[in-house]
Amino acid sequence: MNAPIVPGARPLYRSVFISDTHLGTRGARCDFLADFLRRTSCQHLFLVGDIFDGWRLRKSWYWDEHHDDVLRQILRHARGGTAVTYIPGNHDEMFRAWLPMGLEIAGIRLLAEAEHVTVDGKRLLIMHGDEFDSVVRYAKFLALLGDWAYSAALDFNRWFNALRRRLGYPYWSLSAWLKRQVKEAVKAIDRFENALAVEARRRGFDGVVCGHIHQAEIRDLHGVLYLNDGDWVESCTALVEHHDGRLELIDWAEVNRLSFFAPGRSMLREAA
């Protein structure tokens, strides 16, 4: 995982899928993401929605050198021959207005959804997934309220974990704990996963790749492969396809023992 990329060498992975990076917010772990993109090579890179957080950017703007580095790394992949596909989500839905034009910018294709065939022949439907979130579709004010609550939980989490660090305790995610504990949240996630699996089966796909709910997962749902690549706010995960067709979730922070303390900073030098 930590070997440097050698120009002209075989890409480390055949395909990489990332989503929910939420660039433009303080919660985005752009330091970790830039590190991942810098040390990863692939033939196909799929950006599966909510790469930018347009909802937050309407109210405030947060951008630092790590955000710049993420964009540089994505463009480096595109210039280096990686097929880069960008599928907008609900937070970067402003780009959906450009979809009818079949736009390609700096080697990055913009699509509403995509199909990917793995090396062992699995047909995967790739979409952000908000199309199957009834709150986002039919009660956007509730989605905005939920987004505010999630942001508040992240802000509280920073203060709470600063205290935990002083007391010698490890990092702990409030929002992840709430998702596991609140019965209705668990039911909503289950409905979301099943709805996407049903759609993939209906359209003749072997599996579906999505993001949206910030819950990394690989599971078989009644014969359909459900693949959620997670997020880069808390879990910092990516879905990868190996050259033999094997699909795996990579937890970049865990693999490299990166610290979640002090937002915007990392222990990258120690992990390199």
Domain ranges of the chain: 13-271
Tens-digit pLDDT profile for residues 236-265:
999 999 999 999 999 999 999 887 665 554
Q: Fold for domain 13-271?
A: Purple Acid Phosphatase; chain A, domain 2 (3.60.21)
Q: Specify whether the CB–CB gap between 108 and 117 falls below 8 A.
A: no
Tens-digit pLDDT profile for residues 212-244:
999 999 999 989 999 999 999 988 999 999 999
> Worst-scoring range by mean pLDDT, 31-45, 64-78, 121-135, 257-271?
257-271
pLDDT at 258: 84
Q: Specify whether the CB–CB gap between 50 and 14 falls below 8 A.
A: no
Tens-digit pLDDT profile for residues 90-115:
999 999 998 988 889 999 999 999 99
Q: What angle do CA 242, 244, 247 make, to 5 degrees?
A: 45
pLDDT at 135: 42
What is the b/e burial string over 85-111, where b = at least 16 CB atoms within 10 angstroms of the residue's CB? Answer: bbbbbbbbbebeeeeeeeeeeeebebb
Distance separating alpha carbons of residues 163 and 157, to the nearest angstrom: 10
Cα–Cα nearest to 33, from 208, 211, 256, 218: 256
β-bridge partners, 44: 15, 83
84 three-state secondary structure: strand
Distance separating alpha carbons of residues 229 and 45, to the nearest angstrom: 12
